[in-house]
Amino acid sequence: MTKRSIKLADNTISEEEIRSLAGWLQEGKQLTKGPLTREFEAEFAAYTGTKYSIMVNSGSSANLLMAYSLLEAGYLRNKKVVVPAVSWITTLSPFVQMGFECFLCDSDAQDLGVDLNHLEALLKKERPALLILVHILGHPNKMDAIHRLCDQYGCLVIEDACEALGSEYKGKKTGALSLAGSFSFYYGHHISSIEGGAITLSDDKLYSVMLSIRSHGWSRDVPEADRQAWKKEYQIDDFREFYSFYYAGYNLRSTDLNAYLGRLQLKRLPAIAKVRARNFELYRQALPEFFSQHSPDSFVSSFSFGTFAANRLELSKHLLAQGIECRPLVCGSMGRQPFWIKKFGVTHLPVADKVHDFGLYLPNHANITPEDVAYVAKHFREVAKPI
């Protein structure tokens, strides 16, 4: 095989979309958050099957906004949260920053989501108010069993679905499988708006609170009935309302420029999801002796192909020499990240530790071809040692 260059992630924005954006810019349209942002939000909510979506400036900001809004809106009976040990830094960090007591949950050995036995033990012992899930590399968690457990112990569920845009569990899209879900539109994710993200939800009250906190804590974007109710409660007149802040908010807004690209990308998302699903299956078939995630009752819009190798460092150098990028499997275990160790000491969890020590993922994106997958798999097998 001729040496190739196989990137871990690749740009999804086409030349045609760039030309379209350039033409739109020359028309002198509004660039800050405005009508296109609202149109994207409506289209994204329709795609995910939720009542609402809220566009923000990143998937990390989406997680921050979910965490803070639930706290400010009074949805949480305590400040205890369960977070997957295998996740992303900004899945966990908002809760650390807000002073939550955070409990790391070990990973399911099949899909690398939360382990049901460990989750139940944490729910029973700690009685947390909230669980945030991560659909690792696009693979949905065991949602029915998770909801049964969380309902039993009075724990709310939200999703970090940043790696799982387009994935489905029993025909229902990620982001619509819990109270709220977060997504990222960063370069290398399923679709890109350069920078950007979104929250999906169907709860009316939480929607209004999130809209307010997204933009400083004022009420300008809030549905009219809630805006008038807030004005009446705090006796705010029409002039004072311009700079009245009902929550200690942030500025997490996206822009109409991002939304313009996002709307174009959203049209291509179903095809992108199918390519990513196809590539995952090709990897699985080409590497049968190596671990691959398994998510029953799911369609997987794969983010990357995750697996284990006993000689990960040696393997990564070999792949790089062949022009193939790879990375550790997400963040490994949060319980062994430096920031966590400094605050809480090392937290050892069996499956998460295995991911931390031996996990890696291989390239998958919309521009990967079956021939590319075969090239990666060939050179992977030349050196990789299964566990």
**Which residues are marked as active site?**
189
- Which is it for strands 168-169 and 298-299: parallel, antiparallel or unpaired? antiparallel
d(CA 323, CA 336): 30
Lookup: tokens for 76: 């949480």
- Residue 81 phi/psi, 5-degree rounding, is -135, 140
DSSP state of 106: P
d(CA 111, CA 329): 13
How many helices (H) does the chain have, and how many strands (E)? Answer: 13, 13
Please name the residue that has the structure tokens 């062994």: 336
Q: How many Å separate Cα 195 from the centre of its chain?
A: 14
**Which amino acid belongs to residue 223?**
P
Number of other residues whose CB lies within 10 A of the CB of residue 8:
15
- Identify whether the C-beta of residue 372 lies closer than 8 Å to the C-beta of residue 361: no
Lookup: tokens for 355: 């991911």
- Which is it for strands 156-160 and 180-184: parallel, antiparallel or unpaired? parallel
Please name the residue that has the structure tokens 């020499």: 321
Going from the C-alpha of 112 to that of each of 157, 356, 359, the distances in angstroms are 17, 12, 11
Side-chain half-sphere of 384: how many Cα atoms within 13 Å? 24
Going from the C-alpha of 228 to that of each of 190, 349, 382, the distances in angstroms are 39, 50, 66
For 348, residues 6+ apart whose C-beta sits below 8 A from its C-beta are 335, 336
Start-to-end Cα distance in the chain:
27
d(CA 237, CA 123): 46
